[in-house]
Structures are given as structure tokens and as C-alpha cells.
Amino acid sequence: MHPPPRRVESISARRASAYGGKARSVAALARAGFRVPAAWALPTASADAFFASALSAEDRVVALLSAPASTLSEERLATIAARVRSAPLPPALERSLRRVVRDLLEHGASSLAIRSSSSEEDQDAASAAGLHATFLNVLTEDAALEAVRACWASLFAFRALAYLRSVGARDAGIGVLIQAMVPADASGVMFSMNPLTGDDGEVVIDATLGLGCAVADGRVSPDTLRIEKGTRARRDFVLGDKQLRVVCDPAGGVREEPVPEEARTRCALSDDAIERLVDLACRVENHFEGPRDVEWALVGSELYVLQARPITAVAVGTSSPRRANGGPGRDTLVWSNVNVGEALPGVATPLTWSVLSGFSELGFRRAFASIGLSVPKDAELVGSFRGRIFLNLTELLSILSQVPWLRPRTLLALGGGGQVERLELDVPSRSSARFLLRLPLTAARFARESASLTARVERFEESFESERNRLRELDLRLLPPLGLERVMRDAERLLDEAGAVLLSAYGNLLLSVVALGAALKLFAGDEAVALGRDLSTGIADLESAAPGLALWHIAQTCRTDAEAREFILGQEPGALRIRDLPAGKTRRALERFLAAYGRRGPREGEIAAPRWEEDPTLLFVTLKLHLGRDAAGARPVDAERRQRAIREQAERRLTELLPWAARGPVRNLLALAQRFLRLRERLRAHVTEVLGLFRRVALDASRRLAALEPEAGPDAAFYLTQGELHAVLRGELTRVAPRVRRRRRQVDRDRALPDPPGTFVGYPPELAEPVSSEGAELSGIGASGGVVEGRARVLRDPSGVAAFREGEVLVVPCADVGWSPLFLVACAVVTDLGGPLSHAAIVLREYGVPSVVNVVDGTRRIRTGDLLRVDGDRGRVLRLEAAPDPVDTHDEP
């Protein structure tokens, strides 16, 4: 029997599942009164009856799902699908379908959209959206009948059956939705909560010109708006390129056409349309009592809902209810990534954002609690703008205002950041009463933890090493999906444990540095800044400095290993791999180096970024530069003696300045700060190793996804959030290619945008402010003392590292430990971001390399080839001579 199609609004909730997920969703929208295109739905039973008459028993879905995988060749499935497309429809069903098509065309539809409606898609716990066929702008009855059969045939696509088998399905049905086509002027998708951050206080809208399939398929970079629900303020707006749009072809189907330049440079939506879309998102979410992913289309003034799916596997995030309860409005909040940008520079992939934002949020709360500060449950500490992580300075400094003697200016001097005057005046102050009441207990705990922290770290490291080695030895390729998910959970547990110890060290470091800074300011006056910098150099056994020093020693070994030396000097660094080196002491030394430090690398906070063990280009560039130098030239051991002498001289000067009674306490503070600095750097290395474990899981999960969905690409897992990746490995989330393509396009677009200002108020500017390379002097924070001159080499990412030459000034957005081997062959380092306590600044002080950090827009204002004078004492960069034109900027975008 072939059940006839029914109008979607007449399908009751109790019977809707018989029509497949897409039809069920549209029926629910229609019954709730939302404006949906006129539509009819054909139940899955019609397809089942058709298959029973057109296919043999062994070629039906239930048999194919239980058959050995070796029998499911693409050729066999293509033959079955072709049989479905060519078999005649039963006469009664054909008459019903023709009647439906005529009804839609006679009552206002210019053409039709015919969509598969699988029983496995758009469920509350998972979504297999896009797994089956859709046909747009269908013009005739005959074409509609062909499209229905093609929708049925898509059930037999290799990728569809592979997914059904992967989630353990024993059977599957496929309905068909026959809708009036919406020839959209603008369309897209929107989310009633931010699916990456979990923030339910905002609506995220992706909009483009023409039909929305271009957004869903990732063919265009759409306009993206983040709108606050409560105030309707724009949290952010990014203009997409919109170089093409998909439109209905008069001959049937769709075609792409270029978008005129004038239309590409303005938002696809008017302010009124944005307001209506936010209203629609809120109404859909309220009706379905949960966040929804909404497909929409706008024709003239008519706004249609095409689909509304549950948002599955969202990140756990925060809303902004305090904005409505008297807290500061979002347009007055100060955001900054000047300090945090070193840990996670540039645009973060969704996996990295979801892992590190949660880690940071929890870490801040633990750190504040450890020093006796109360943190509101709904405090929003971390935010994302254009893919970059930012800290809410207003919120953080408001929490720290509970410490009565701690001023924003003091903290910003340590961590970097702008808007000092605004923060001094506008940060909402909190009562210090609770902090002061708890101060004796906090001080006692601080003393206990300070005394026991080293032992605590050693206990942690012992258990950490055992667990890390166990996880490293696993062959992830052999694990079932749930086994891989358990490894990911083990990595999450390790990150939590490492983070807890790291933040204890960092909290104690911050307290000791602030107290030491106050003492220096009191007793040293104008000498305080320089004295503080010199006291924090020449620290022995610093983990972050070890890789660069180890590589220098390997270069000395290589000088006496003629075969390896000639091999390295004769090859392009990007083509070199350690396994290709001649056997000998150089190769063995590099293998030991990778065993110890291979999990590090530039942008090591980004899980998707390759580590040294995967891409050793920076290591070989540095080795070649060391080998090209005079063997009797400057040696790291000489720099170590020089920096130790600077510190010892600073300590003697401090003793001279201190009253006799203050000498003991201040010296103790200095010893504590140095000890906590060492511990922080050791523990940061462990956190980086754990992120490497996440990377291993993501690489293997990507391999598995690529086997099921080749169109998802070889790195799909990095474009899923932490929760989504868990859901994929549990088999709860299927068909991820469409969302992966959209997010990859969004990440690529965000990377192409200029960085937002390092510090801004409210929302980043919609357009990057033009930055002039004119002006001789740039200001920043002196991170490592000394004055040198050299030509600039601007590197915005590691891809151009092979162009670096010895003695150049390395100019980068930020410089984490992964860049550190290059520091020893640079004459100076200049960064856009960072502060005196940043990892790069600490390493540069150890190496004795002059450095200025927090130089606003330094990588945009300095050009490769500029002759610079870098003054690390005063925090100044002076352009002595502009780069000659034309300049070789192949390392610059």
C-alpha cells in the first residue's frame, strides 16, 4: 500500500515521525503558526512499499545494513539506486503526487523544492542533516516525480549507508517533503544560542544574498552577526565576501552568478530584517523549549522559516543575565587579548576554543577563590570575537577590586593591555569586607601552599608522567570509537589536573610579583621598573628556555658531524625531516630533542597547529643559522653568565635601597617569585603536552570521519567543539560535513581579517582602522633590556620562517615558547601582544635578547626590511630607515 502525501499542517505530532525528521520539524513549525512555505509530506511508508515492489529482498535497506561490509561496494549501491530512479511509480501514487504538484503551482508557487526527509535526521540528540538529496527550483510535474524517486534513491548512497551502519541502525525510512520554492533575496542560517561558546544570551546569524544552500554548503563566506537578545545590540559583525550567489535558473534548477561589488560591500540584511530575525529566533526557541538552528529565507518583506533543528552537542557556556540586573552594559566592557593572545594567538579552531575557553574560565575561578575572592556565578570572563579569544578586563578587574590596594594600572603593567584610564575610573568596585575578613586564613593558606607547592608539583608530575606515557603508547587506530572517546576523557582529566596545579603556581606568582612590585615602588622609586626586570633574569633551570639552548648544543655537535652538517646546509629547511638525516650523533641528538620537546611548536596553544615533531622546519632553520655562524661567536653560556651578573647586580642594588628591617622579607618575596616562575614554566610545558594528546585524538577522529565523509576533509575534528567530538565518537552525532565546511569557511574568513584591536570597548570595530607605517617611534613594554639595531623580519605565522636571517629583528604578533629557538639567532624581538610575565619575555630575558612587547599593531606598522633600533630598556622601537621599495614581503600576507 502506498500512503498518499498530506499537507504538513495537518500532520499531528503523534504521527509526524512517520514522515521523517525534516517533515516532522516543518510540520511542527506550521502547526505553531510560523510562516513556512506551503508543503506536502510523503511518509516513509510510501518509499518502503515502493522498495518492496522494485527491489529484491537482499537489496533493501534492512538487509544491506546487516550484510557484511565487503558486499557493499559503491558499484552495487549505485546499481540499486539507478533501479529506484528508473522504476515506474504505482499509478495511484503518481496521481496523488501530480495532484500535489498542481495544487502548489496553482496556488502561488513559482516552482518547487523537493527534499528528502530521513527518519534518522533532525533528532533531539543528533542531526544527520544533509545526508540525503534535495532538489531546488523544480518546474514541472514530470521533474517532480523524478526528484521524488531520486530522494528515495539517495538512501542507497554509499555515505548514507556507511553512516547508518556506523550508528548501529538496523533499518531506516525516507520520506519526501514537497514545498513551494522560496526564491530568496537573502537567506541563511541562524542559531538561537552561540553553538561554539554555549552563550544563550546571543543570536548568531549567517546571511548571504540569494539562496541559502550556498551558506549550508560552505560555498560562500556569509555576513556573520552576533546579536545580544536582551538589548539587540551587535556584539560583533563581520562582512562576508559574498562573491557569488545562488539563484533559481529559469530553465529549472539553480545556478551561481557573481555579486556586484557594491552589494558585496554592505550587509545582506537591513536593520529591520536583523530585528525580525532575532525576534524569530527567540520565538522558535521559546516554542520548542530549547536552542534551535534555524534556516530562513527573505523575499521582499516576507520572512520564511525553512527548517528548525535542535542545536546538538553545544558547548557549555554562559549567558549574560547580569547585564539585565544592574551590571555594566556590554557596550562599556573592556576586552583584551594582549596577555592571553600569547597562549592562544590568532584565530582558534572550534575544538581549541571549546577546550581552552572552558579551561580558562574554570582556571580563573579557581585562582580567584584560592586568594579569597568571590566570583559571581554568572560572571563572563572569557569571550570570542572573530575567532580570537579575549578576556573581559572589566569583569576581571572588578573581581580583583576586592583587594583594596590593588589598582588596574598595577595589573595592566604586568599583563599588558590598554584603556587604563577608563578601567581606573569605570570598573565597578566590589566590597573588600569579605576579602579582609578572610585575609588571615588566605595568608595562612598561601604560606602553607607556598611551602608545599614544590612537593605538590613533584607528586603531580610523577603521576602525570605515568599516565602520559600510557596514553602515548596507545595505538589510537586500533581503538573502537568509544575507546577513542575514553582517551579524550583521560586527556580532559589530565588537563584539569595540570591546570589546577599550574594555576596554583600562577596565582602565587602573581601575588608575590605584585607584592614585590609594591616593595620596589616604595623603596626604589624611579628605579623600580628596571630593577624589577633585572631581578627576573638569569634564573637557572627555566623550562621554557631549555629547547633553544638544547638546539644550540645540537648545532655544536653537528659542526663535528661532517655528513649531517653538509646534508642540513644543502637542503631547504621545509624539506628536511629527522628520519632523512644520515645516521650519527646529530640525528641521535635530534631524536632525543624531539622525545623531550617534540610536543611544542609555534602557536602550541592551538590544537590544530603542527608540533615540532610533525613539522621541524623552524628547528632546521635555526640549526642552519647556528651552523652558518662563527663557532667562536656568541655562546648561550656567555649570555647566561651575563644575565646572572645583571641579576646579581640588581640584587646588590636592592639591598642598598632597602632598610635593614625590610631586607629579609623582600628577599624572601624575590625568592618566592623566582621559584613560582620556574614552576609555572614547568607546568605550562605539561599543559602543552596534554593539548598534544587532544591533537592525537582529533587527528585520528578526523581520519575516521574522512573515511565516512570524504567531503568533510582530512581535519574535520578540529572544526567540531569538544562536546560535538564526544557525540561523534559515541555515535550520537552523524553527518558532520556540512557544519565542518561552514566552520572551515568561517575560520578561513576570520583569519583573512585584520586582528581586532588588542584592547577595545564594547565591540570590535566593524572595519579595521587603517594603520600607517609612517612615524619613526613605536611604544610598548620593555620585556628584556638592551639596545640593538637590525633589519626587521615580519612573520605573522611560521609559514615564512625559512626567510629569516641571522641578526634580524624578529617581529611577530606574539611569541610563545614554540618560537624560542629562533630567539638565539635574532638580534631582538618585537611583538604586538604580551607583557613582562609572558613566556616569551621570560625566555628572552634568559637569553639576553632585547625585546619590546605590547607594541600596538607592530606587525602592521613595521615592514620587512625596515632598519630598527630596539630599546628594551625604555620599551621603544625606532625606525631608522624605511625598507627600500620594492620590498620582498613573501613572508607577509
Q: What residues contact residue 369 under an 8 Å CB cut-off, 6+ apart?
A: 375
Name the residue with cell 603536552.
689
pLDDT tens digits, 175-197: 999 999 999 999 999 999 888 77
What is the spatial distance between Cα 263 and Cα 277, in angstroms, rounded to a whole number? 20
* High-pLDDT (> 90) share of the chain, %: 34
Name the residue with cell 563572563.
380
**pLDDT value at position 112?**
94
pLDDT tens digits, 816-826: 888 889 998 99
> 3-class SS at 849?
coil
**pLDDT value at position 322?**
43
Mean local confidence (pLDDT), 78-89: 91
Residue 200 has pLDDT above 80, yes or no: yes
What is the spatial distance between Cα 867 and Cα 864, in angstroms, rounded to a whole number? 9
**pLDDT value at position 311?**
79
**DSSP H or E stretch at residue 292:** strand 292-299
E-state strands within 343-499: 382-385, 388-392
- Please answer whether residues 620 and 576 qualify as being in contact, where contact means their C-beta atoms are separated by less than 8 angstroms: yes
- Please answer whether residues 681 and 816 qualify as being in contact, where contact means their C-beta atoms are separated by less than 8 angstroms: no
**Edge-to-edge strand ranges of the sheet holding 382-385:** 382-385, 388-392, 334-336, 759-761
Q: What residues contact residue 750 under an 8 Å CB cut-off, 6+ apart?
A: 238, 347, 386, 387, 388
- Please answer whether residues 707 and 693 qualify as being in contact, where contact means their C-beta atoms are separated by less than 8 angstroms: no
Mean local confidence (pLDDT), 31-56: 91
> 3-class SS at 433?
helix
pLDDT tens digits, 106-139: 888 999 999 988 876 644 433 444 567 889 999 9
pTM of the model: 0.79
**pLDDT value at position 274?**
94
Q: What residues contact residue 712 under an 8 Å CB cut-off, 6+ apart?
A: 705, 706, 736, 737, 740, 741
DSSP designation for 210: B
Residue 729 has pLDDT above 60, yes or no: yes
The grid cell for 285 is 526557541
What is the spatial distance between Cα 21 and Cα 130, in angstroms, rounded to a whole number? 12
> 3-class SS at 255?
strand
pLDDT tens digits, 145-170: 999 999 999 888 887 777 777 666 77
**DSSP H or E stretch at residue 308:** strand 302-310
519 closest CA partner among 417, 846, 836, 527: 527
Residue 867 has pLDDT above 90, yes or no: yes
* 304: region left, alpha or beta (phi > 0 left; psi from -120 to 50 alpha): beta
Mean local confidence (pLDDT), 199-222: 83
The average confidence (pLDDT) of the chain is 84
Given CA atoms 137, 139, 144, 150 in this order, what sign does their dihedral have?
negative
What is the spatial distance between Cα 240 and Cα 207, in angstroms, rounded to a whole number? 9
Mean local confidence (pLDDT), 492-502: 87
The grid cell for 211 is 539562496
Name the residue with cell 564526544.
726
Q: Give, in degrees to the nearest 5, the angle at Cα 344 between 428 and 513.
A: 55
What is the spatial distance between Cα 47 and Cα 172, in angstroms, rounded to a whole number? 11
Percentage helix, strand, coil, to 5, in the chain?
50, 15, 35
Distance of CA 583 to the CA centre of its chain: 40
pLDDT tens digits, 309-337: 887 655 544 444 444 344 556 778 888 88
E-state strands within 720-827: 759-761, 777-779, 781-784, 787-794, 809-812
Residues in the chain, how many? 893
What is each CA distance from 103 to 47, 93, 96, 136, 575, in whole angstroms? 22, 15, 11, 18, 65
> 3-class SS at 822?
helix
What is the spatial distance between Cα 303 and Cα 36, in angstroms, rounded to a whole number? 9
DSSP designation for 814: -
- Please answer whether residues 214 and 372 qualify as being in contact, where contact means their C-beta atoms are separated by less than 8 angstroms: no
What is each CA distance from 710 to 120, 121, 208, 673, 845, in whole angstroms? 20, 20, 26, 52, 48
> 3-class SS at 499?
helix
pLDDT tens digits, 237-285: 888 878 889 999 999 999 999 999 888 888 999 999 999 999 999 999 9
